[in-house]
Structure 1
Amino acid sequence: MSNSITALVVGSSGITGSNLAESLINKNIKTYGLARRPDIGIEGLVPVAADLLNKESLEAALKDINPTHVYLTSWMRNDTEAENIRVNSLMVNNILDVLSPKGSVKHVALVTGLKHYLGPFDAYAKSGTLPLTPVREEHPRLALENFYYAQEDAVYAAATRDGFTWSIHRPHTVIGYAVGNLMNMGTTLAVYASICKELGRPFRFPGSTAQWNGLSDVTDARLLAEHLIWASTTKAAQNKAFNVANGDIFRWNWLWKQIADWFDVEVAEFDGNIHPLENEMTNDEPVWKDIAQKYNLKETSLSRLASAWHTDLDLGRPVEVMTDMAKSRKLGFTQYQDTRESFFDLFAKLRAKKLIP
């Protein structure tokens, strides 16, 4: 397999992209990592610096690169969903348009997520748009603007034009290591717990009663990487969309205590109200700088580590949410990941890399 594949990971500096790059390299696959700042210290990764919104930048950066497998893991947040659609579909179109004349691409894998079922940021998990759970891939698109749909349509159009196969991957909340990522619940909770520990502040669940008591699941970035490689190299998985999750389910009223115990912090009693982390942590930037200085941490900027807004979106949903994985299982993807270990492994790595005390 390694001799016949040349991989291009678009968004290689993010949670999904960096973990995917490591998995590909571990399988002896030649791997290029494209990002604005792609040199992220992964041994064996060939960094490619380019701006996805600039075709000339992409053409120059990819001039001598002929990938067979393209993994699209990048996105950009904007003020409105209309702008999300314009910008994020443009990024997909630009990269596939630049690669088109080469004729080398055999498969394109696109990573989206559960906003496919729950709606875009500005209508996220609102009444009237919520699907039956667990969510299944055959659930129809919502009658709402959604940049995930636009990205999918861009891949479909390019596949028709160029003749490559495709796969769509819809993970739940991705848990994994990355710094400066816009959607990073695991690191956000690690930072929040560290602040609570330092200040003697109770570790308070920020979300809804439905999330506290309901069933949920998440997606380990390492498992997502394996799923991407599996689908892109398995004939039976070609031209299909897949949910991707760890394979276990949990309730936050159980997992919250597990996380608190790992950090040795006191859990605040859940009072049934939403206490957004954006509010809880709004004055914590100077607190984190003091913590970073005290423990000689490598990152002094709270905003580079924590993405409270996205964690609030996930934990504030008015409904329990979990994914159905039967489609992948039937086609042969049987990997499983313990969710508690997903968080604990991440916390240990953050500590080892001197990002949390």
Structure 2
Amino acid sequence: MNTPKNVALVVGANGIAGLNLIAHLETLEGWEVIGLSRRGGEARERVRFISVDLLDAEDSRRKLGGLTQVTHIFYAAYQDRPTPVELVAPNVAMLVNVVNAVEPIAKGLQHISLMQGYKVYGAHLGPFKTPARETDAHHMPPEFNVEQQDFLERLQKGKAWTWSAIRPSVVVGYAMGTPMNAALAIGIYAAMSKELGLPLRFPGPPAAYDILLDVTDARLLARATFWAATNPKSANQAFNINNGDQFRWSEMWPKIARMFDMEVAPPLPLSLVDVMADKGPLWDTMVAKHGLARNAYADINPWRHAHGVFSTNFDFLADTTKARRFGFQEHIESEVMFREIFADYRRLKVIP
């Protein structure tokens, strides 16, 4: 007898969350994956990709209108814009276009998973109540994460499928070609500093060096996302997901420096967007000297996201006891996570 198939539609397949979720799904029996992104992707045994412009409702209907076998939609797409107001229209539209194209025709649809984040709590606006909890009141709109969840809640009423909302901290893990990747930024910033004979200097203000924060391992996030989508107790719930520990950069930064065999210097506020803009020639030299994978420097652009991470000068953390109460018990020490991720980048010849 053939193993029953679940078909996962991963939206935002090339982002850090989507990429790691697909990697997890590939390890599971009985799952097939369809990845959606503008860039498409390389098909594998149980994974295929569709290149689609999710901002275009007609293109979405045309490209996705035949996906009748989808059982789970994992939505992790994101369009960046300069202001909270501008974020709403494109990010709500992409979710609506996907769901409107697939939900009416996928008669076996079981679950829609929505990737959110601490923006729900106003983390992008300034100091917010910490530790943030899923029961915290929403802040003054506009907020696209809240509007996305409201859309799913309204649509789900009376339907057999369920939804979940996953709220990670800063996501840290392996991914290339995505701008939201603090681990890649740290790895390349450290490697370049070492190449130039410099110590590893925290590039944010002194106040940011001493905040208390948590982060989310992309691999752990993938397992948590899958858990919430397949655990009946988790139906129609939101969950904070992070590593389970907290740290200060003032404690973690020297440990990261030791991972690169480097000394540490005091923090100095730097605009990574500006100081890394002219490093293309240095990168090309390093690729040749160290035999690195030929990733074009123009395609490595996590600096704006990293600048925001390292400039945050208020505590940045959320409570995860709800996920534990509902059954997700996994955790990882953040120092171990950084060490493993940098080891992956070295193994894949991304950094020396």
Q: Could you tell me the TM-score, scaled by structure 2's length?
A: 0.92
293-302 or 104-113: which moved more?
293-302
Deviations 1:214-272 (A, max 9, x none): 321110011001111111111111111111001122221121111111112221123xx
- Partners of 1:330 and 1:53 lie apart in 2 by 37
Question: Out of 190, 212, 215, which is 1:215 matched to?
Answer: 212
Distance in 1 separating the partners of 2:108 and 2:140: 36
**Is 2:287 the partner of 1:285?**
no
Matched AA of 1:320? D
1:127-164 C-alpha deviation (Å, 9 max, x unpaired): xxx32211111111111422222222232233237552
Provide structure 2 residue ranges, at least 5 long, that are not aligned to the other structure. Answer: none
SS in 2 for 1:250: coil
How far apart are the structure 1 equivalents of 2:73 and 2:224?
14
- What amino acid is the match of 1:23? H
- Three-state SS of the structure 1 residue aligned to 2:336 is helix
What's the counterpart of residue 203 of structure 1? 200
8 Å CA contact retained: 2:24, 2:222 = yes
| Partners of 1:211 and 1:318 within 8 A in 2 | yes
Deviating runs (4+, > 6 A) in structure 1? none
Q: 1:347 aligns with which of 328, 342, 349?
A: 342
CA offset digits 1:91-122 (Å, max 9, x no partner): 000000001221332211111111221354xx
Q: Answer with 42-51 or 249-258: which moved more.
A: 42-51
Cα 1:208/1:243, change in 2 over 3 Å = farther
User: How far off is 1:51 after superposition?
Assistant: 1.7
Alpha-carbon displacement from aligned partner over 1:181-228 (angstroms, at most 9, x marks no partner): 121000000000010010012211122334322321110011001111
- Aligned equivalent of 2:115: 111
Give the superposition deviation at 1:277: 2.3
Q: How well do the aligned residues superpose, as a CA RMSD in angstroms? A: 2.0
**Contact 1:169 1:241 (8 Å CA) reproduced:** yes
Bigger CA drift: 238-247 or 38-47?
38-47
SS in 1 for 2:202: coil
* Paired position in structure 2 for 1:324: 319
Pairs within 5 Å for 1:231-250:
231-250=228-247
Alpha-carbon distance in structure 1 between the residues aligned to 2:204 and 2:172 = 18
Q: Indicate if the aligned counterparts of 1:8 and 1:32 stay in contact, CA closer than 8 A.
A: yes
Q: Structure 1 unaligned segments of length 5 or more: list them.
A: none
1:56 pairs with 58, 61, 65, which one?
Answer: 58
1:198 and 1:345 map into 2 onto residues whose CA distance is 22
Q: Partner residue of 2:27?
A: 26
CA distance in 2, matches of 1:289, 1:155: 46
Which shifted more, 98-107 or 186-195? 98-107
Number of matched pairs: 347
- Aligned residue runs from structure 1 range 1-357, under 5 A: 3=4, 5-28=6-29, 29-40=31-42, 44-65=46-67, 66-102=69-105, 103-120=107-124, 124-125=125-126, 130-160=127-157, 162-270=159-267, 274-357=269-352
* 1:187/1:306 contact within 8 Å kept: no
TM-score by length of 1: 0.91
Percent pairwise identity: 33
Distance in 1 between residues matched to 2:287 and 2:47, nearest whole Å: 30
C-alpha displacement of 1:40: 4.3
* Structure 1 counterpart of 2:184, one-letter code: T
Q: Tell me, yes or no, if the aligned pair for 2:123 and 2:316 is still in contact at 8 Å.
A: no
* Whole-Å separation in 1 of the counterparts to 2:99 and 2:328: 27
**Distance in 1 of aligned mates of 2:330 and 2:123:** 28
2:163 and 2:315 map into 1 onto residues whose CA distance is 30
SS of the residue 1:354 aligns to:
coil
Which amino acid in 2 is paired with 1:30? E
Checking the alignment, whether the CA contact within 8 Å between 1:293 and 1:300 is kept in structure 2 is no
Contact persistence 1:119–1:144 (CA under 8 A): no
- Paired residue type of 1:285: G
Instruction: Provide the C-alpha distance between the structure 2 equivalents of 1:22 and 1:317, rounded to a whole number of angstroms.
Output: 31
| 1:209 partner letter | P
Asked whether the equivalents of residues 240 and 320 of structure 2 are also in contact (C-alpha less than 8 Å), the reply is yes
Contact 1:13/1:40 (CA < 8 Å) preserved in 2?
Answer: no
- Partner secondary structure for residue 178 of structure 1: coil
Displacement of 1:15 in angstroms is 0.9
Q: Distance in 2 between matches of 1:141 and 1:19?
A: 29
For residues 281 and 142 of structure 2, the distance between their equivalents in structure 1, rounded to whole angstroms, comes to: 38
